[in-house]
Structure 1
Amino acid sequence: MSLKHFIYGATSIVLFSCTPRQEINYMKDIDSIALENSIKNSRVDFQPGDQLIISVSAKDMEVVKLFNQNYSSNSNIAAQYSLPSTNNLPQSVPAGGPTYTVDTNGDIIFPQIGQISTKNENIETLRAKLTGLLKEYVKDPIVDIKLINFKVSVLGEVAKPGTYIVPDGSTTLLGALGLAGDLTAYGVRNNVLVVRNIDGQISKERIDLTSANFINSPYYYLKQNDVVYVQPNAVREKASRVDPNTGLYISVASVIASITVGILALIKN
């Protein structure tokens, strides 16, 4: 190999090896984006199937017993951050209180009050709504609401693909990717797909993680049952098309070639 070819090859290796490092940077222009613009998207509206723990307290706890029916301070709800794709044991968050499931009409049935609509409501607005209704029965009621089955799925080129239950009831796109162990070196960072199903209506958006503009997207704060998919880059796709037995074929071919050369040598002698 000539010196010229060696220098050319070394330069090419350096240039190509630097490219992935640049692509891995997230939100390179973060300083130019106003983070407060994303706060408006942080509230997660309830959907049918959501499970809510709603507990009511006041100075006189005897008065609020009616609104805490079936309360059990010993109940634990397993908040499984990672499902089958990891060997880590699930973490559990102690949680107690009566559980309400949002029905297909978006309603829950609350003791004494009756049917309450959760449509277009989130934890903050439903808490305020219930507090106002309870003031007719209780002096200075305190309402606590937890969404206990909020889950998202993260698939594709991440370290730990799977479905994740978020006990806080809310997470961002970056938070979900963090639960999944972040993107692998083969994940495409400027074309992450988020699929959303609200009342049977499917919507989707492609997110560029290398630009801070994505924090202003309505898909930055994930909603119940969102699916995040990180597609593989060209290197991974090319590797997946290679026959996994290629190495074996090459080894067998080498052995056959060696035997053939040996036989030909013996024939010549």
Structure 2
Amino acid sequence: MRYYMKCRIIELNSQPNRKEHHMKNPGQFTLKLFMLLLISGILASCVPQDNLKYVQNKTSSEIKESYEHLRPIKKIRPFDNLYINVLSLDEQTARIFSNQNSSITGGLSIDLLSYTVSERGTIDFPFIGEILLNNLTLPEAKAKVEAELSQYLSNTAITMKFVNSNITVLGEVRNQGEFPFFKEQINIFQALGYAGGITDYGDKSKVTLIREYDNLVRFHNLNLTDKKIVENEYYYLQPGDVVIVEPIKTKFRSLRTFTYATFLATTTTLITVLYFFR
């Protein structure tokens, strides 16, 4: 019995004091603390690789080189702006019907010289009056205006195009805002390109398209990680569309944005480590 007690006392005395151990090795303690905080920070700021890619093949069996899509034909709607220029052999007469009169155009932008489609879908054309263009394509509208002009001018032609077309991109993009485009059509990727692209913290599988239909507003969900997006009927945008990119769930862990949550998490980790190594 005495022998056992003696051995136990010797064994306990042989264990170094944990506090003394760390007091004698402050450098090692500091290194461990730094490494733990560094690893925690790296893990907190990690973004899944799949979130960094736009179009992906989910499985090897889905690999496909080409996809079919129908390019939609834009039609004239209320509040669209149309630039119309009348061309005729008789320049003086043509100027009466054209916004290109040099006496009034100096320095004016093209959108100020356009015709705004009314709520009824008409434009008010000089000397002709209202012309109904609602739900017509540009070629159809062009032919209709030329037919109306033929009553006053012979050998005339017109040029017509949409002007002042804008789309809005919001959410996790590098440059939020409203962007004008001068093409007849623009797709979702081109629109995001205007906004500088999606950030690393944007969820490419959760993009919302907001579109107006006369008196209705509808929300459409788009997955930009799926190559089949090019077959989607909402791949091409329309003037007035709003695109919103949702953030991924791990964004709040980002080290780029120092928030109170980050401060609290860091402080808690530090206290835990200090308690563990005391």
Partner SS for 1:163: strand
**Counterparts in 2 of 1:162 and 1:69: CA distance versus 1, 3 Å:** closer
CA contact (8 A) 1:196 1:202 kept: yes
* TM-score normalised by the chain length of structure 1: 0.69
Is 1:111 matched up with 2:126? Answer: yes
User: Residues 16-55 of structure 1: matches in 2 within 5 Å?
Assistant: 19-20=48-49, 23-26=52-55, 28=57, 31-34=65-68, 37-39=69-71, 41=72, 43-55=73-85
Task: Tell me if structure 1 keeps the 8 A contact 2:51–2:204.
Answer: no
Alpha-carbon distance between aligned partners in 1 of 2:113 and 2:108, rounded to the nearest angstrom? 12
**Structure 2: which 5+ residue stretches go unaligned?**
1-38, 58-62
Distance 2:64 2:155 in 1: 43
Residues 195 and 203 in structure 1, CA contact (< 8 A), matched pair in contact too: yes
Does the 8 Å contact 2:70/2:231 carry over to 1?
A: yes
Q: May I ask how many residue pairs the two structures share in their alignment?
A: 222
Are residue 64 (structure 1) and residue 94 (structure 2) matched?
Answer: yes
C-alpha separation in 2, matches of 1:193 and 1:60: 51
Shift of 1:169: 5.0
* Kept after mapping to 1: 8 A contact 2:47/2:200: no
Structure 2 vs 1, CA of residues 74 and 155 (structure 1 numbering), >3 Å: closer, same or farther?
Answer: same
Matched, 1:179 2:208: no
**What is the CA-CA distance between 1:177 and the residue it aligns to?**
0.6
- Match of 2:131, as an amino acid? I
Which residue does the alignment assign to 2:143?
128
SS in 2 for 1:158: coil
The range that moved more, 161-170 or 191-200, is 161-170
Q: Deviations over 1:118-145 (max 9, x none)?
A: 2112323212221232233333322122
Give yes or no for the alignment of 1:74 onto 2:106: yes
Deviating beyond 6 angstroms after TM superposition, the runs of 4 or more aligned structure 1 residues are 251-255
Which of 260, 264, 272 matches 1:245? 260
1:46–1:121 Cα change, 3 Å: same
Specify the code of the residue in structure 2 equivalent to 1:75: G
Structure 1 residue 111 displacement after superposition = 1.6
Match of 2:166 among 151, 159, 164: 151
Change (3 A) 1:157 1:125: same
Q: Distance in 2 between matches of 1:66 and 1:143?
A: 13
- Whether the 8 Å contact between 1:194 and 1:228 is mirrored in structure 2 is yes
Structure 1 position 108, deviation (Å)? 0.8
Which secondary structure does the structure 2 equivalent of 1:188 belong to? strand
Measured after TM superposition, the shift of residue 238 of structure 1 is 5.1
2: CA distance between counterparts of 1:160 and 1:187?
13
> What's the counterpart of residue 91 of structure 1?
none
Q: Determine the C-alpha separation between the residues in 1 that align with 2:196 and 2:177.
A: 11
What is the alpha-carbon distance in structure 1 between the residues aligned to residue 111 and residue 54 of structure 2?
41
Separation in 2, partners of 1:66, 1:74:
17
Distance in 2, matches of 1:163 and 1:101, equals: 20
Q: Comparing both structures, which one devotes a greater share of its residues to helix?
A: 2
Alignment of 1:144-223 (within 5 A): 144-168=159-183, 170-223=185-238
* Aligned-residue identity in percent: 24
- d(CA) in 1 for partners of 2:48 and 2:269? 36
Shift of 1:224: 2.1
Task: Flag the structure with larger Rg.
Answer: 2
Deviation at 1:173, TM superposition (A): 1.3
- The answer to whether the Cα contact below 8 Å between 1:153 and 1:228 also exists between their aligned partners in 2 is yes
The answer on whether the counterparts of 2:47 and 2:201 sit within 8 Å (CA) in structure 1 is no
SS for the counterpart of 1:126 is helix
Q: Post-superposition shift, 1:222?
A: 1.2
RMSD: 3.5
- Give the unaligned 5+ runs of structure 1: 1-9, 78-94, 259-269
